[in-house]
Amino acid sequence: MTIEVTPLDAPLGAIVAGWNPKEELSGADETVIRQALQERQVLVFRGHASPADRELVRFAYRFGNLIKGSEWFGDIDPVAEILRVNNLVGDDGVAQGTGASSSLEWHADYSYVPTVGKESFLEAVEIPARKPPQTCFSNQYAAFASLPKALADRLRPLYALHSITGYGKDGDQELQITGAPEGEENFRESFKAKKERNARLGISRPPIPKAIHPLVIRHPDTGREILYVSKGITRNIIGMPRDESGALLKELHQHSTRPENVYAHDWRVGDMVMFDTLGTLHRRDAWDPAERRVMRQLSTLWTPPAHAHSIAAE
């Protein structure tokens, strides 16, 4: 196969043609993809046959070890590396995937764990026929580079707590989703149902952790600095009074998602979007819960410097 990359007329993003999921990725094509990802942060693979689960996993593994995210979210799936992001409900009344049809606030995948998401892969299997929701991506290299120097210098030594807790309790496990339409089954309720189902079946799943990371991270591949905070997951700045922390995070959230740094993706069935999870934030719109939206998500993992750690048991 021969990979071809065409940049989009947008602040970030490119279309990738020529990928054949049934073939092993060549070293040359892998190099082209890695370079394009560093330059454009978001790659939209189009025009290929839909990959089988094992083909999608094989492709993603070329870029690093994969997070077994489905286990954290209580799913029962033979392919733990794939997180089923959908609004489907099984015959037992339990959600088949994660995310329902709510909007999701700006976030970086798995920033709430010590081994954060480095690259992510999101594929559209089914999308709503009416008004499909967009997924928006924001360039965090540009966000950091455009900060006033005095503020950038102030941020470098600071750390923040990343967590998806705080929305509501389910025993010892708390979960949050932001922006859920009123009256819709939310992520917390879906997780509770999965937890009860798993308990009946004698299936154990690890708790979802929290983690502390620096506000500014240097990307291990590009060597460039990134603003690593998000409205959806960053909770507070360590050692800073709550009101001061909240004000600074609000300022950074607004700065990090300025329109000039954002690409809004309109999905087509079959799109497989690979994105720099460290170097971007992303969010999605809500949609009519009566319509199906079925996605497959994977993420490679990266362990930031030693000061990042899990605080799940604290």
Q: What is the pLDDT of residue 183?
A: 30
Overall number of domains in the chain: 1
pLDDT in tens, 158-171: 999 999 874 333 33
| In the predicted structure, residue 314 carries a pLDDT above the cut 80 | no
Tokens encoding 102: 């709510």
pLDDT of residue 217: 96
Q: How confident is the model at residue 172 (pLDDT cuts 50, 70, 90)?
A: very low
Q: What is the pLDDT of residue 95?
A: 81
- Cα angle 268, 284, 290 (rounded to 5 degrees) comes to 70
The pLDDT, as a whole number, for residue 175 is: 40
Q: Please give the mean pLDDT across all residues of the chain.
A: 88
The enclosing domain of 290 has a CATH number of: 3.60.130.10
Asked if pLDDT for residue 289 goes beyond 50, the answer is yes
Confidence band of 307 (pLDDT split at 50, 70, 90): low
Q: What is the pLDDT of residues 28-55, one digit of tens each?
A: 999 999 999 999 999 999 999 999 999 9
Domain region containing 259: 4-310
Give the per-residue pLDDT at 66. 97
Q: What is the DSSP string of the chain?
A: ---EEEE-SSSS-EEEE---TTSPPPHHHHHHHHHHHHHHSEEEE-SSPPPPHHHHHHHHHTTS-B--HHHHTT---S-TT-EEEE--B-TTSSBSSEETT--EEEE-TTTTSSSEEEEEEEEEEE--SSSPPPEEEEEHHHHHHTS-HHHHHHHTT-EEEE-S--SEEETTEEE--SSPPTTS--HHHHHHHHHHHHHHHT---PPP--EEEESEEE-TTT--EEE---TTTEEEETTS-HHHHHHHHHHHHHHHT-GGGEEEE---TT-EEEEETTTEEEEE----TTS--EEEEEEEEE---TT-EE-TT-
Q: Is the pTM of this model over 0.75?
A: yes
More confident call, 174 vs 240 = 240
